[in-house]
């Protein structure tokens, strides 16, 4: 799934190509994309408007159009936006014709992506505010914020990071990389982290996302850039998807476990498991006696 760095990469590539351009033709081919509006209702609201600004908030790509009309686009699992693709790709959900002959194509094989219409800046702010916590690069994302919002929470810290209402934009890849860098086990209860660990985690989240943006995102599954080129952050993964490989810091074999319902990769020497998690890991690997 595209996370903050992948969405930001798309935004940076696309913004200079679309800002100031008019959406002349809008053809929504999949009613799931425009829900709750019918495809023609959403298309009518977008058609003829100029793109004033292409922004991003969390994993949303925010199209701000003339007359204070906004489209909050979420790519979900496999969505992407291609500019003037050649040849025509498969799994096209939306086709948009711009002035001067260019076109945008929204591709989404798994069809979970959405485009939601917001009329007015206030409606946009309310929509995003209800769904998203602070941006990791925002000054509101402080150690104190992390401590306060984690206080008393028994859910694993990984689940906390994946919760978009806590911090916007972090998904499975960048959560694993940040927790490894901060030397915190993903199954640690969020409320049990020390102030120093919260400080390390904050720094690590920002570092991982920044490194991801610099590498133009990670290419796994179907993520593609606007121009069809792939990002390279997957080559810099320290722990994610490296099960069975030695940890770069200590040489211990990286293991895969499940945290927050997601495949999660850890070095259990650098990231000491909380009491109980180690037992679970032994059970999973089938070494329990009398079993």
36, 139, 244, 250: which one binds Zn ion (CB under 5 A): 250
What's the min distance (Å) between Cβ of 86 and Zn ion?
A: 45
Query: Rounded to an integer, what distance in angstroms lies between the CA atom of residue 230 and that of residue 233?
Result: 10
First to last CA, the chain: 37
Which region, judged by CB under 5 A, interacts with Zn ion, from 168-176, 179-187, 264-272, 281-289? 264-272
Binding span for Zn ion by CB under 5 A among 91-99, 112-120, 232-240, 245-253: 245-253
Asked if residue 130 binds Zn ion (CB under 5 A), the reply is no
Q: How far is CA 276 from CA 46, 79, 99, 265, 281, in A?
A: 53, 38, 60, 18, 9
2 catalytic residue (yes or no): yes
The DSSP element (H or E) to which 25 belongs, if any, is strand 23-28
SS3 35: coil
Per CB under 5 A, 164 contacts Zn ion: no
Whether the upstream peptide bond of residue 87 has omega within 30° of 0, thus cis, is yes
Which residue lies nearer to Zn ion by CB, 248 or 279? 248
Show the binding pattern over residues 47-76: x = contacts Zn ion (CB under 5 A), - = does not: ------------------------------
Cα angle: 197, vertex 200, 204; to 5 degrees: 135
Q: How far is the CB of 186 from Zn ion (least distance, A)?
A: 14
Catalytic residue among 49, 57, 59, 158: 59
Q: Which of 2, 39, 156, 186 is catalytic?
A: 2
Residue at token pair 């977008």: 46
Active site residue 59: yes
Which residues of this protein are in contact with Zn ion, per CB under 5 A?
A: 247, 249-250, 252, 267, 269-270
């Amino acid at each position: 799934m595209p996370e903050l760095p992948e969405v930001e990469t798309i935004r940076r590539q696309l913004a200079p190509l679309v800002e100031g351009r008019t959406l002349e033709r809008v053809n929504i081919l999949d009613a799931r994309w425009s829900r709750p509006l019918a495809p023609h209702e959403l298309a009518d609201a977008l058609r003829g408007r100029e793109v004033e600004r292409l922004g991003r908030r969390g994993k949303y790509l925010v199209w701000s159009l003339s007359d204070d009309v906004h489209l909050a686009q979420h790519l979900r699992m496999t969505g992407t936006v291609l500019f003037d693709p050649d040849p025509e790709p498969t799994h096209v959900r939306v086709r948009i014709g711009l002035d001067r002959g260019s076109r945008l194509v929204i591709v989404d094989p798994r069809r979970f992506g959405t485009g939601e219409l917001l009329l007015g800046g206030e409606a946009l702010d309310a929509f995003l505010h209800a769904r998203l916590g602070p941006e990791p690069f925002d000054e509101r994302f402080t150690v104190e914020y992390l401590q306060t919002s984690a206080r008393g929470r028994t859910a694993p810290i990984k689940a906390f990071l994946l919760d978009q209402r806590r911090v916007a934009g972090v998904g499975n890849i960048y959560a694993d990389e940040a927790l490894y860098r901060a030397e915190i086990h993903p199954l640690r209860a969020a409320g049990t982290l020390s102030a120093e660990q919260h400080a390390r985690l904050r720094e690590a989240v920002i570092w991982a996302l920044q490194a991801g943006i610099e590498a133009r995102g990670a290419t796994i599954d179907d993520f593609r850039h606007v121009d069809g080129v792939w990002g390279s952050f997957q080559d810099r993964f320290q722990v994610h998807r490296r099960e069975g490989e030695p940890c770069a810091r200590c040489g211990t074999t990286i293991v895969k476990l499940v945290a927050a319902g997601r495949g999660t990769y850890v070095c259990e020497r650098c990231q000491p498991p909380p009491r109980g998690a180690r037992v679970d890991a032994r059970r999973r690997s089938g070494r329990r006696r009398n079993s």
